[in-house]
Amino acid sequence: MNVPLALLVLGATGGRGPRGDRRIDWAAQAAACGACAAAGAWFAAVDLKRG
């Protein structure tokens, strides 16, 4: 549900930030998403190891 909604919002805003004068920093967004995914995978692996 979150991914289609996020794509809809990005399409509606034209990829502009909240102020409208700056573009979205896609590299920073990808790095933040990667860090969250890595942290989630790490915690899932630790939880699975505990049993």
What predicted TM-score, i.e. pTM, was given to this entire model?
0.56
Q: 22 φ, ψ to 5°? A: -120, 145
What pLDDT, on a 0 to 100 scale, did the predictor assign at position 45?
A: 93
Q: 3-class DSSP state for residue 42? A: helix
Q: What is the pLDDT of residue 5?
A: 82
pLDDT tens across 1-51, in order? Answer: 677 887 787 777 776 666 666 777 888 888 988 898 999 999 999 998 887
- Amino acid 20: pLDDT: 65
Question: Given this model, what pLDDT does residue 39 score?
Answer: 93
pLDDT at 1: 64
Question: Are the beta carbons of 11 and 4 closer than 8 angstroms?
Answer: no
Main-chain phi, psi angles of 41, to 5 degrees: -65, -40
